[in-house]
Chain A
Amino acid sequence: KAGVTQTPRYLIKTRGQQVTLSCSPISGHRSVSWYQQTPGQGLQFLFEYFSETQRNKGNFPGRFSGRQFSNSRSEMNVSTLELGDSALYLCASSLQTGPFSNYGYTFGSGTRLTVV
């Protein structure tokens, strides 16, 4: 079956611009989570969506937002880009969610964002 698809793979943007990243989860998976990965900080949780509702949000400024559609596809948006937003953005899908869930993530290949 198809894996988690993220588009685009690479993006170069200028400071102050905005960007939208897309993620299509594995068919049947309704939970989509987003992470930012940088060499210094590792994987940082951005937010999780389940059935079109944001379930949780990490400690990122309001410039970072997201949404999920009825087909479980998700987008994240970053407005007013800063140099520090340069990172690999990973989308992860899961069959189930919850604080006691034992279902792990399947990650997409990521979107490499470079802000210049």
Chain B
Amino acid sequence: QKEVEQNSGPLSVPEGAIASLNCTYSDQGSQSFFWYRQYSGKSPELIMFIYSNGDKEDGRFTAQLNKASQYVSLLIRDSQPSDSATYLCAVNMNSGGYQKVTFGTGTKLQVIP
């Protein structure tokens, strides 16, 4: 079992729709969770972090966390073609008392105009 799992996609949604990206993780003790966006040929950039169960909203983005189910998701409302990118889920895992941020392989999102 991979430490952080994501559906590789591609996930295709029409412009204006809600895109839902999902991530599961294996380490029950993990406390901090991040979403990064990576455009083709570019480096990942941080878009959201969440550490409490429930929802966290930032503009068109909502991160959702359920620690009991070891599940993190990212919702993108009113999807735009500029949102087309690969979305990486990252989990901060405790490794010997130090952080070890483990990434999923990413979900490719395509927003169709």
A-B CB contacts (within 8 Å), total count: 69
Q: How far is the CB of A51 from chain B (nearest CB, A)?
A: 12
A45-B105 contact given A99-B93, A101-B32, CB 8 Å threshold? no
Question: Which B65-113 residues have a C-beta within 8 angstroms of A?
Answer: 88, 90, 92-106
Q: Is the interface of B mostly helix, strand, loop or mixed?
A: strand
Indicate which residue in A35, A90, A99, A108 contacts B98 across the interface (CB closer than 8 Å): A99
Evaluate contact between A100 and B31: CB separation under 8 angstroms. yes
Residues of chain A within 8 A (CB-CB) of B99 are: 48, 55-56, 97-99, 101
Q: How many residues of A contact B (CB 8 A)?
A: 24
A43-B88 contact given A33-B101, A107-B43, CB 8 Å threshold? yes
Evaluate contact between A56 and B43: CB separation under 8 angstroms. no
Question: Which A15-61 residues have a C-beta within 8 angstroms of B?
Answer: 33, 35, 41-43, 45, 48, 55-56, 58
Q: Which of B's residues lie within 8 Å of A, judged by CB?
A: 31-32, 34, 36, 42-46, 49, 51, 88, 90, 92-106
Residues of chain B within 8 A (CB-CB) of A109 are: 42-43
Q: How far is the CB of A110 from chain B (nearest CB, A)?
A: 6
Evaluate contact between B92 and A56: CB separation under 8 angstroms. no
Residues of chain A within 8 A (CB-CB) of B34 are: 104-105
Q: How far is the CB of B45 from chain A (nearest CB, A)?
A: 7
Most buried by A among B44, B95, B106: B44
